[in-house]
Amino acid sequence: MKTNYTQLLFLSIILLTGCTKEMLERKPDQSLVVPATLTDFKALLDNAFSNPLTGLEISAGDYEVTFEDWQAMTSARSRNMYIWNADINEGSQLVTEWDDSYEQVFYANVVLDGLADINRNISNQVEYDNVHGTALFQRSYAFYNLLQYFAPAYGGEAEEQLGIPLRLTADINDPSVRATLSDCYQQVANDLKSALELVPSAQPFRTQPNRAAVATLLAKVFLAKGDFEQTNIYAARALEENHSLLDLNELDISDDFPFPQFNDEVLFHRNIPLDISFIAPRCKIDADLYRSYAQNDLRRSLYFVENPDGSVSFKGNYTGTRIPFGGLAWDETYLMKAESDARLGRTDEAMLTLNALLETRYRTGSFVPLSVSNAHDALSAVLLEMELLPLKRDRFRQ
């Protein structure tokens, strides 16, 4: 069966990158498996979700490297990304962030188109809806990431500004036309709202989206738009589901990788690949960020490691490895709920949510709940915590 799915994926790639009309018209080898069943579609989606996010995190400013370590990087592309070179690919037409994301869009569209040929009935409706919702989520997640990388920030000119091509079918003959930024975000939001009604509350693996993951991504989409009312609605919707925060007191601060992979705080697991040069001890974290953590804040010891030269490197990935985490997690859901409450003037609600999160971050018995007198101070407290949430930042913040 594994061989069949490998053949299935090979065929999909051919369809995605086909070059000539003759190739498209040629009858494929009958031994190749064309996805046609719910099981096929689920396997295709699982494979697409196994692909990591892209490595533009290098450009985000979270890391510091010496000139010598920068020169020693094995990848010219990584060197170029770190210094914001105008041509990070050095003339190559391959843009990984674009190509990989649209490959995921293609796989999702193969599934969405194929579902039209399957009769949804009482015996398959649960599986059918799960596959349908997962495909919508996958396409939305890919579009969302493309918008972060290749589109301007959402603002007052969103109805006139161009966003990205919204490819909504698997037909490679359909022309790619850039939609307006407003239409792009509307498409993503609409698809996620549909997915929220289709996927189950729980999935067997954290690489598959459940309702809380869909609602959290919806909150992120609306936060990027500056729509704080909708951000609040969907962050709260996510928190209605069964959820859990890690008690950091239960983790071993001496462990090289203290956060277990697929831990209870992870909603949806994705990796961010980085050049091997961007790991400790070569890769440093800004000293001011490190000093921003209070002495009794366990994140200070669990997120970071002090190097022999006195510098500090990051170790606290939710992947359980050196590979950074790029998925969805409950801590960010809490912070989006708190931020949107603060921006809407709901001071007490914002601080209640923020303190619930922070209580799990400090040494037992040491945390004193934060107290503020107005929404402005509540927002400042929340935004500080957002800055202390390393390696999970979107490109744009309102």
Where do the structural domains in the chain lie, given as residue ranges? 2-239
pLDDT for res 130: 98
pLDDT in tens, 323-374: 888 899 999 999 999 999 999 999 999 999 999 999 999 999 999 999 999 9
Cα 170–chain centre separation: 23
pLDDT exceeds cutoff 80 at 3: no
- pLDDT class for 25, splitting at 50, 70, 90? very low
pLDDT in tens, 127-185: 999 999 999 999 999 999 999 989 999 999 999 999 999 999 999 999 999 999 999 99
pLDDT for res 391: 53
Burial 49-65 (b: 16+ CB within 10 A, else e): bebbbbbbbbbeebbbb
d(CA 89, CA 80): 8
181: enclosing H helix or E strand: helix 181-196
Topology given in CATH for the domain delimited by 2-239: 1.25.40
